[in-house]
Each structure stands twice: as structure tokens, then as C-alpha cells.
């Protein structure tokens, strides 16, 4: 039964169950619907004519970052706040915060509020130094820009280097 016809009572039940916290997949299985269809019904995108009688579930997903929020994220990142703390402050994932900080999202702001794009070059340089086994240069590079250690992969590379070369801890 790939599709099933639902009634207004079904819509009421779907929205009530969604508000209680039932999983969308479980609700979908009970009604013979797809998960996406249940989400649309529960959030009021489908059957919107019933939104007054049976209020939809308010989505818990973080809304889109505003231009002002992205500008603030870039300023905070420039001041070397960690991506994790910025993400927590704006209730977004670290990936979203990082993408906003380096200009992947909100590209229309890049002219007046440039992202910290040179970090990509810094990350690329660190990998190059690591694979060339230039530990001293790597340590100097990280000492010049400690915020590069916000990147998990770089932090892991740095940990490997410092476990074998304890003397580099004074530089980085």
C-alpha cells in the first residue's frame, strides 16, 4: 500500500502524535505514508487549510542565519573565537558556523564583510608541511595562527607531530 488516502481526523492524529514526540517514520508506517509527507502534514505545509483547527507542530530546526548574524560570526571568528563556541551561541552546527565564517554561505556579504578565506590557504599549507616532514616550519605556522587548531584534522596532525617531537611544544 504505497499511498493511502487520509482524512481530516488523520491529520489531527498525525499532528497530535508529532507534538507528543512520536517519530515521523513510526507515524508514517501507521498511516501508510512516506516520512516526508508526514513531516509536511505535521508542520502545516500540507493540509494548511486545517492549521486553525489543528495547529501544526512548530519545527525545531534552526531558522536561516540572518545577514547580521553572519557578520557577527565572521567578526567573532576573526577575533579567534572557536567555531564550536560560535555554533553554540547561534544554535547551529559547527559546520554551518564554519561555512558562514569562511564565506561559503551568504556570499553576497563578502564584498563589505570579507570572510576569513586565508584560513583555507593556512590549512593547505599545514598539510603540505606535515607531509614534507617540516615539523619546525609547521610549528612556526601554528604559532603564527593558533586558531588553525580549531580545525579538527589539523589538531590531530599537530598531536601526532608533538608526540614524536616534544621540543616543538615550545614553538607551537
pLDDT digits (tens, 9 = 90+) for 81-105: 888 899 888 888 788 888 888 887 8
Quickly state the pLDDT bin for 130 (edges 50, 70, 90).
low
Residue 77 covered by a domain: yes
Interacting residues of 68 by C-beta distance below 8 A, sequence separation 6+: none
- Predicted local confidence at residue 164, as pLDDT: 67
- Shared domain for 154 and 132, answered yes or no, is yes
- Shared domain for 99 and 125, answered yes or no, is no
- Shared domain for 104 and 136, answered yes or no, is no
Query: What is the Cα–Cα distance from 51 to 47, expressed in whole angstroms?
Result: 7
Total of domains in the chain = 3
Range from 10-19, 37-46, 71-80, 137-146 carrying the lowest mean pLDDT:
137-146
- The residue among 59, 83, 109 that closes a domain is 109
Residue 62 covered by a domain: no
Percent of the residues in the chain that have a pLDDT greater than 70, as a whole number: 72
Residue 3 covered by a domain: no
Residue 149 covered by a domain: yes
Residue 41 covered by a domain: yes
- Predicted local confidence at residue 72, as pLDDT: 92
Print the domain residue range for 39: 8-50
- Shared domain for 124 and 162, answered yes or no, is yes
Residue 13 covered by a domain: yes
- Shared domain for 105 and 122, answered yes or no, is no
Burial 39-75 (b: 16+ CB within 10 A, else e): bbbbbbebbeebeeebebbeeeeeeebeeebbbbbbe
Residue 26 covered by a domain: yes
Range from 21-25, 37-41, 130-134 carrying the lowest mean pLDDT:
130-134
Percent of the residues in the chain that have a pLDDT greater than 90, as a whole number: 12
- Shared domain for 128 and 102, answered yes or no, is no
Distances (CA, A) of 2 to 33, 34, 39, 134, 164: 7, 8, 17, 60, 59
- Predicted local confidence at residue 121, as pLDDT: 54
What average pLDDT does the segment 162-171 reach?
Answer: 60
- Shared domain for 164 and 123, answered yes or no, is yes
Average pLDDT, the chain: 77
- Predicted local confidence at residue 172, as pLDDT: 42
- Shared domain for 122 and 105, answered yes or no, is no
- Predicted local confidence at residue 10, as pLDDT: 93
User: How many C-beta atoms lie closer than 10 Å to residue 163's C-beta?
Assistant: 8
- Shared domain for 46 and 73, answered yes or no, is no
- Shared domain for 161 and 131, answered yes or no, is yes
Residue 157 covered by a domain: yes
Amino acid at each position: 500500500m504505497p499511498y493511502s488516502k487520509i482524512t481530516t481526523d488523520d491529520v489531527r492524529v498525525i499532528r497530535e502524535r508529532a507534538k507528543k514526540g512520536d517519530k515521523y517514520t513510526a507515524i508514517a508506517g501507521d498511516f501508510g505514508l512516506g516520512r516526508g509527507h508526514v513531516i509536511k502534514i505535521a508542520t502545516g505545509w500540507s493540509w494548511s487549510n486545517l492549521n486553525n483547527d489543528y495547529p501544526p507542530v512548530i519545527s525545531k530546526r534552526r531558522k536561516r542565519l540572518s545577514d547580521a548574524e553572519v557578520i557577527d560570526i565572521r567578526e567573532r571568528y576573526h577575533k579567534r573565537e572557536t567555531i564550536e563556541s560560535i555554533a553554540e551561541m547561534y544554535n547551529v552546527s559547527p559546520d554551518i558556523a564554519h561555512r558562514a565564517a569562511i564565506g561559503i554561505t551568504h556570499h553576497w556579504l563578502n564584498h563589505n564583510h570579507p570572510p576569513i578565506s586565508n584560513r583555507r590557504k593556512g590549512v593547505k599549507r599545514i598539510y603540505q608541511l606535515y607531509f614534507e616532514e617540516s615539523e619546525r616550519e609547521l610549528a612556526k605556522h601554528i604559532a603564527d595562527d593558533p586558531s588553525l587548531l580549531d580545525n579538527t584534522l589539523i589538531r590531530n596532525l599537530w598531536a601526532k607531530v608533538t608526540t614524536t617531537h616534544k621540543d616543538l611544544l615550545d614553538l607551537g
